Amino acid sequence: MRFVMPLFSGMRRILYKKIVNDCCDAVSLRSMDNPQSRCARQILSKGALDGEKMQIRPLDSVTMLCYTAVSYTKNMEEEMISKKELLELTDISYGQLYRWKRKGLIPEEWFIKKASFTGQETYFPKLKVLSRIEKIKSMKEDVSLDELADLFTPTLSAMTLGPIEIVARGIASPEVLSIYQEMNNIGDTLGFQDLVSLSLMNKLIVSGDISLDEARTLLDVINEASEALGLEDCEVFLMRKLGVFTCFIVKPPCQIVTDKSAKIISRQVMAALIEEIKLKLI
């Protein structure tokens, strides 16, 4: 079990310590000999106990908005579909399904074995697998299966792009691109991780979900998370309470418990964002 906490200033250090200890007590991770305990405390302490560890702009007017407990569980409540139903619904063959699995187009972890009255049946996360198969069917005539496999693999590639291509491929508007370069003090050529951060920032600014100052905070958190967790399997949550913004990044599968008066304004799945960018690069 891990805990992730939004970053606020103005909270007295002793109260943060109490939250950390209470959270660790709740999951029997009090012993510092336990590596999970060290991980929980390290994540919780970022910017809260030792501000010098993370360059996050403080929210001086806020004493405490909320803290979020992220408990890792193996079983998520998610609608499933059996293999038989999947083949009938998508009109694909058994052979196609397992060929796509061997090619890496459909992740092996989506093939979930469950006991049934006939012995054992294979099930899939319904929304994920239906969306994936629809994309494969619509693209397989124009793109090789190997290229599709790379597209659907949520890894940060080594590709770089200049400003003209970034705008032409719809990754960001010229205005947001210019702001991103200024915020990060980088040149015209952006690597793939920058493209992911830029794309997310562009999406949230254009939709009106965040302001420029809030985008700066988001980028700081993304940069920190990329080192601590890796972005490929993460989700980004943006929240407000009493009009004040914060954000945090988690690594599913997880359950999230928040202060009920804090509103989640956006939830972004990084794997889906990476896939979206790769589609634009084809």
**Residue 71 maps to a domain:** no
Question: Which of 7-21, 33-47, 138-152 has the lowest average pLDDT?
Answer: 33-47
**Band of residue 154 on the pLDDT scale cut at 50, 70, 90:** low
Domain match, 185 and 84 both: no
**Residue 70 maps to a domain:** no
Instruction: Please say whether the beta carbons of 56 and 6 come within 8 A.
Output: no
**Residue 69 maps to a domain:** no
**Residue 112 maps to a domain:** yes
Domain match, 95 and 28 both: no
Domain extent, residue 265, equals: 160-251+259-281
* Among candidate residues 14, 17, 42, 40, the one with its CA nearest the CA of residue 28: 40
Global confidence as pTM = 0.56
In the prediction, which pLDDT does 150 show?
75
In the prediction, which pLDDT does 49 show?
37
Domain match, 167 and 277 both: yes
Domain match, 49 and 111 both: no
- The phi and psi torsions of 109 (rounded to 5 degrees) equal -70, -10
Q: What's the CATH number where 108 sits? A: 1.10.1660.10
| Buried-exposed string 121-143: b where 16+ CB fall within 10 A, e elsewhere | eebbbbebbeebbebbeebeeee
Split into its structural domains, the chain has a count of: 3
Domain match, 207 and 169 both: yes
Give me the amino acid identity at 179.
I
- Point out the domain boundary residue: 120, 152, 184: 152
- Point out the domain boundary residue: 98, 130, 152: 152
Domain match, 138 and 215 both: no
**Residue 75 maps to a domain:** no
